[in-house]
Amino acid sequence: MRRRRSSPYGALALVTVAGLLIGAGPADAATTPPTPAATSAAEPTPAEPARQPARTLTLITGDRIESSAGRIAIVPRHGIQFLRYRHGDDEYVVPSDALGLLREDRLDERLFNVTQLLADGFDRRDGLPLIASDLTGMRGLTAQRRLASVDGFAAEIPVADLARNWPTLRDSLRAGKLWLDGIRKPALDVSVPASGAPAVWAAGYDGSGVKVAVLDSGIDDTHPDFAGRVAAERNFVTDYETTDDDLAGHGTHVASILAGSGAASDGRYRGMAPGADLLVGKVCFSYYGLGAACPDSAILEGLRWAAESGARVVNLSLGADDQPGVDPIEAAVNELTAEYGTLFVAAAGNSGWVPQSIGSPASADAALAVGNVDKSGVRSWDSGQGPRLGDYAVKPEITAPGTAITAARSATADVAPPGEQYVSFSGTSMASPHVAGAAALLAQAHPDWRAGQLKSALMGSARPSAAIDLFGQGAGQLDVARALAQPVAADPPAVNFGFRAYPHDAQDVVTRPVTYRNDADAPITLRLAVTGDVPAGVITLDGSTVTVPAHGQATVQLTADTRAGGDAYGTFGGRLVATADGVSVQTPFSVFREQPSADVHLKVTARTDAPQEVVTQLGNLATGEFVVSYDSADTLRVPMGDYVVLSMGISADGTGTILANGRLTVDRTTDLTLDGRQARRVDIRLPERDAAPVLGEVEVQHTGAPQLFAMSLAGDPGSIYTADLGPKNVDGLITSVTALFARPDGNGGFTASPYTYQTGWYQTGSFVTGFTRELSERDVAKVRVGYASAATDGVGTRANYPVIPGVDYPDGFILPSTPLPAQRTEYYAGNLGWESTFEEGVGAGADYRRVAEFDAQRSDYQAGKDYTEQWNQAVFSTPMTPAFPEYPIVERRGNEFLLRLDGYADAAGHRGFSEAAGSTGKLALYRGDTLVEERAGAYAGVDVGEPGRSRYRLSYGFTQPAPARLSTSVETVWEFDSAYTATGTALPLTAVGFAPQLDDTNAAKKHGMLAVPLTFTRQAGAGKVAKVEVEASFDDGAHWSRTQVLSLPGGHTAKVKHPGRAGFVSLRARVTDSAGAVVTTTVIRAYEIR
């Protein structure tokens, strides 16, 4: 994050869409085989979407967020309203009683970034980890570890205690700041020589006597390449991983690039500084199947330990998204650099498909940020790009090889074939230790140099590439041989002119000194030139040469004059190049020339005299840039143009107000008054007079700009007030008013309510001033819903998500949970469609576990009509309805089979998935009798290697243990013919299901006969059903008996005769179609008899 100067665009920074779409900072390094391979710098083809299971996240306030298929729904505390907004692809949910602390900068905004919290797996943790930056006055936290770098401590609140703990914490947070203890992620035979190391070794420098630290996932110190090289180790993540082993393999690989001896390869894979002494701090651990994760608190401890232990250089191949401001890690890097002279070398990150994607802490002032090039010097498509957020400074500052780098493999990591000594990884994580190793070589050659001198020498000697933009490489590619040999370096190593405001006049002429230091015994005359794509006259020098005396200094003046530049605006960068015989010093620079802009004087008037917290967003409809203010009176600096204005206020009286102006033109200094007194109430009245609101939401979105602008207010709909303060018929403006009602249970909830009312309306072109609907029975659709039980003591929960034209992922509603089985009447009103999900779980609170989950099903209920629905009804069998319509369940493209076989379907055809712990899936594909592929799981891409027509056999099965009671084992086997297809083609397969009439516990009576209708779902091209055979088993498949199958005009029905004892019925069907394809489905414990 940036401390530097505040953005001129108001309380929060104005950020381009590109700046908001970065991922999780330096991502996990990609693994490649240990043998060198050709690597393309091109961006790979995006993968098809994968199914995302439902997840539950608890915020620091105790409010729960339910997430399903990219959509969210809130389970709120009583009486709390919520602000929802989006920054790029990230969705934030902020409870009303946290807004004031955000405005005062007492709370880390990441605590409410639902998208990133889920991506980082915080829903899987038993506690919420925090960093408090003040040791006094904060109640509700117990210090776990002292963190001197922030004058604070690390703490963790159990998830079950968050709601109870929040009021104490909220009311005592009057000093310091509470941060999320966030997750940062771990971002030679050719690459080391390409970086100039052999020439430095030949000069007698291999890093001997220099302490270098690697803060990462640990090290395999038993690897031959580290024999005698590890001076100290410390584990800072013992709360998560008590072993000192490197289970991720990332740290071992990084340390090998930096200082490995290459002993296991006869020196082939020698690191940059093989004589250096390694200090290894384990700050990352293997994280819930999501790869390595590095808590901020562990990194803070590791940074100080490394500096205090005498490390001259610290490698940080880890990071997270950068944000405006300075986060604790960046602050520690800057402060420890100043205190100890330690150089922190950091990976720039692997989210570089957009500009301004440098990760933190590479974004810190003092850090040396490293980008990734391949061994040919081509920038990797995902290497983090500058300029830096907030002040447009040059980042990355240098590049090094980081693609397909072969280095030591940790024996305890699940990478590469077991027994291999080396593995290849790619990423800025691999580039960074090349630079850190080069710094260690220079530190040996110059024992008195501190961080700034090392950084200047490395950057000044870099070799720029004409094929890479300045903000993709900084000074250029690492050349440590030149850094050692040439006697001249520049201070500062880069020049940042920062933001220059419009209109450009004399105050926008800024001069920065650049001082050259000459360590040679004779004076050197440098020829000076400015290079780069900069408008004429914007950057000038005070001379074309400068003579630097022996062992002395000389200063030149570099000037930015943004009065020049004409109609060119934005970020510009280049290099000041100083050359002499055997000398070439690169000093990159950057400047931001503001486009025509104006001040907007914002005033938000409260609806009543009660104090209120305010959030206002101005979104530029042409560029997608936006600015946010948390003040009722503010001056916002914005580029001239058309804006959508969205404002929300939450009052101390418990009411909330949304004000919107769909199009505001800013072409000069503008006074913008948003008058909450014009707002009117949302009033939805129901036929059921004892109904009460569970949750309501008013949302306004503008979808016509490059960036989606959206703001919503959630809470009791009767406490929400709205006003449209702008023009009508605004293209792209969409308003929705949605709400859920049920019967209160008398205990502050709605448990087992016999009915629900789900209402929703939308309109385009304008916002609403108030909203009133009085519903009668003829205005609603009546849906009688049965929820069967498939587990013992199950609890069922339905979620409804509105279908709003033009809106991709509207937020939804969690209906009251109910013990299963259950019957409920659900009413729907409005002009929206709905997509519904359902899940069954067992337990309560922290002990709740999902057993089954059903994907979204679309319904368009019509007012005045009655409907009947049944969910979770046996028999559960293999489906042929795809999760994504454009991706068939089984598809052939050329000679590749694409298999997407996870899940099952209930008797009504709802597509579901087992969430029971210990559930397993397995698939196998045969061509004739030859096994082509067998693997655990449900997804696979299989090259069958045979274009001709062949007979194939494909099987998929899964098992699910208790508490799942039914369909404990399901297997389907398809036999079919297939040949090469020029394009993706669904294979002509059929799935068979069973739909007996069972009670709501999915049971039938023992004795007697039960009719079991069969259902068939077919992919395109499948033949008609020609022959059906069904068998039943009453001992879990040990013995089978043939049933009578009736072929009737309405379909096929098997008649199953039940025994006189209680138990379970298993079913097996074999179906042959008119094209000769055969499908056999076996379901163990299809239903119960009692």
Active site residues: 216, 250, 429
Tokens of 247: 């289970």
Backbone region of residue 729 per phi and psi (left: phi > 0; alpha: psi in -120 to 50; beta: other values) = left
Buried b (16+ CB within 10 A) or exposed e, 1020-1036: eebeebeebebbbbbee
Please check whether residue 739 is in contact with residue 832, taking contact to mean a CB–CB distance below 8 angstroms: no
Q: How far apart are CA 954 and CA 944, in angstroms?
A: 12
CB 1057 within 8 A of CB 1044: no
Alpha helices in 31-113 (DSSP H): 99-103
What is the helix (H) or strand (E) element at residue 458, kind and residue range? Answer: helix 451-460
Q: DSSP states of 838-895 as a string?
A: EEEEES-GGG-EEEEEEEEEEE---TT-EEEEEESPSPPB---S-SSTTS-SEEEEET
Tokens 């397993």 map to which residue?
Answer: 920
CA-to-CA distance for 295 and 301, rounded, in angstroms? 10
Pairing between β-strand 939-943 and β-strand 833-842 as defined by DSSP bridges: unpaired
> What are phi and psi for residue 215, nearest 5 degrees?
-100, 110
Q: Amino acid identity of 964?
A: A
| Separation of alpha carbons 118 and 349, rounded Å | 20
3 state SS of 1028: strand
Distance in angstroms (rounded) separating the CA atoms of residues 890 and 885: 12
Instruction: Tell me the two tokens of residue 43.
Output: 């961006």
Spatial distance between the Cα atoms of 490 and 461, rounded to a whole number of angstroms:
10
Q: How far apart are CA 351 and CA 337, in angstroms?
A: 26
Using a 10 angstrom Cβ sphere, with 0-12 exposed, 13-18 middle and 19 or more buried, the burial of residue 42 is exposed
CA dist 1020 → 896, 1024, 1052 (Å): 18, 11, 21
Which residues neighbour 266 within 8 Å (Cβ) at sequence distance 6 or greater?
none
User: Residue 363 and residue 369: Cα distance in Å, rounded?
Assistant: 7
Closest residue by Cα to residue 324 from 101, 499, 91, 139: 499
Unique residue bearing structure tokens 């304008």? 766
Strand partners, 956: 923, 972
Per the CB < 8 A criterion, the answer to whether 32 and 44 are in contact is no
User: Closest Cα partner for 674 from 726, 604, 768, 766?
Assistant: 604
Cα dihedral sign, 784-790-792-795: negative
Read off φ and ψ for residue 262, nearest 5 degrees: 75, 15
Q: Please state, as a whole number, how many other Cβ atoms lie within 10 Å of the Cβ of residue 745.
A: 12
Helix (H) or strand (E) holding 60: none
Long-range contacts of 110-115 (CB under 8 A, 24+ apart): 110/179, 110/180, 110/182, 111/59, 111/60, 111/178, 111/180, 112/59, 114/57, 114/65, 114/67, 114/72, 114/90, 115/89, 115/90, 115/91
Distances (CA, A) of 378 to 346, 476, 950, 991: 20, 11, 44, 49
Residue with tokens 């929040």: 166
